[in-house]
Amino acid sequence: MTENITISVDAMGGDHAPRAVIHGADLALRERKNTRFIFHGRKEQIDPLLEEFPKLKAACQVRHCEEVIAMDEKPSQALRKGRNVSSMWMAIQAVKDGEADVAISGGNTGALMAMATFCLRPMEGISRPGIAAIWPTVRSDIIVLDMGATIGADARQLVDYAILGSALARSLFDSEKPTVGLLNIGTEEVKGLDYIKEASKILSQANGAGFTYHGFVEGDDIGKGTVDVVVTEGFVGNVALKTAEGTARQVATYLRTALKSNWVSMLGAFFASSALTALRRKMDPRAVNGGVFMGLNGVVIKSHGGTDEIGYKSALGLAYEMARSNLIEKISDSVKRFPVHVAASELPSDSEAKSA
């Protein structure tokens, strides 16, 4: 029998928590029956919901936490208020204590990153954690990071993201040498900001690092699936993610409107119903919900806060796969294998360069 995977869940994180969280966990359990859950949150809200899902109730434990981090709290405030007492913190703490394989929350992203960084600490050799997302493309799924863990980056951090993203790609896609591209305004070497060009020089020397550096990629290369891993800084990555999600909804709305415009269109939609259903599933952001916090001594998954039980099921499925793939060991191996990582770590940050 396959060994159990234990997921530590902030049951109070998200706009529709805890119901959407609990329901999503039940759906996830149906697909992966060797999953066990530790729910952190207010027992008086969680326990009645578990009565609706007896199989989930038998596969979980509930740990009461009265304190809940609000979606609009500043990370520093949330850290002061919620350390050691909030549902978000305790979900992460269970990973640090070895009680769970992975933690997940749909709560405040900034607070979750602050708590995860403070509790788990960055891995040796990684300058700054990042958030990686699974991105569907016309070729296959790819990895894009950073999705908004921090705003801004320097060459050293982009190199770190390349190492982290390639390790995740090897874990998820079973690829020995995934291709890595740096997101830029053009593919020519002379284009882009100085820190992006500096990171490109370092990555071009990375033979034997466990990935193949493709070079610069542009925004349309993300949807094409030109490379397995797209690296960018958090502001650009988050804007790209939200733009893609909004575009998917926009196209879906256009399509529904067009198919209902006249009887001929409706008849065509009837005959193409199976294909349209497949397209709708492919374009549904809930199907790829979940960002992976990369570069910490433990795995944390960030679910979209506004998602429903289907989205939580997807995020919990991602958490399961991350726990099963030994991601931390693969990242550590990638850091050790990177041939010019020491040189990259010695690069001045933007703040240091400005003060020099």
Query: 67 and 199: one domain?
Result: no
Assess contact for 239 and 146: CB atoms under 8 A. no
Q: How far is CA 77 from CA 70, 81, 98, 110, 193, in A?
A: 10, 6, 27, 11, 34
- Peptide bond connecting 146 to the previous residue in cis, omega within 30 degrees of 0: yes
* Residue 138 CB burial class (10 angstroms; 0-12, 13-18, ≥19): exposed
* Residue 16 CB burial class (10 angstroms; 0-12, 13-18, ≥19): middle
Is residue 24 assigned to a domain? Answer: yes
Is residue 112 assigned to a domain? Answer: yes
At 174 the pLDDT is 76
Domain end call among 91, 120, 149? 120
What is the phi-psi region of residue 13: left when phi exceeds 0, alpha when psi lies from -120 to 50, beta otherwise? Answer: beta
Instruction: Count the domains in the chain.
Output: 2
Non-local CB neighbours of 34 within 8 Å, separated by 6+ positions? 1, 2, 3, 4, 5
CATH number at residue 263: 3.40.718.10
Domain end call among 120, 154, 174? 120
* Residue 219 CB burial class (10 angstroms; 0-12, 13-18, ≥19): middle
Torsion of CA 322, 159, 297, 238, to 10 degrees: -60
At 259 the pLDDT is 79
Nearest CA among 176, 192, 187 for reference residue 228: 176
pTM attached to this predicted model: 0.83
Residues in the chain: 356
Q: Cα(356)–Cα(354) distance, rounded to whole angstroms?
A: 6
Is residue 314 assigned to a domain? Answer: no
Residue type, 89: W
Provide the residue-wise pLDDT of the chain in tens; the chain has 356 residues. Answer: 358 999 999 999 999 999 999 999 999 999 999 999 999 999 999 999 999 999 999 999 999 999 999 998 998 888 988 888 999 999 999 999 999 999 999 999 999 999 999 999 988 878 788 899 888 888 888 999 988 887 888 898 999 999 899 888 888 887 888 999 999 998 888 888 899 999 999 898 876 677 889 999 999 999 899 999 999 998 998 898 888 878 877 887 888 888 788 887 877 777 777 776 666 666 666 777 888 998 899 999 999 888 999 999 999 999 998 888 878 887 877 777 776 554 444 444 444 433 33
Query: 233 and 138: one domain?
Result: yes
Is residue 260 assigned to a domain? Answer: yes
Residue 85 structure tokens: 């007492």
Domain end call among 75, 101, 120? 120
Query: 114 and 146: one domain?
Result: no
Residue 77 structure tokens: 């405030």
Provide the residue range defining the domain that includes 179.
Answer: 130-284+339-355
Query: 13 and 139: one domain?
Result: no
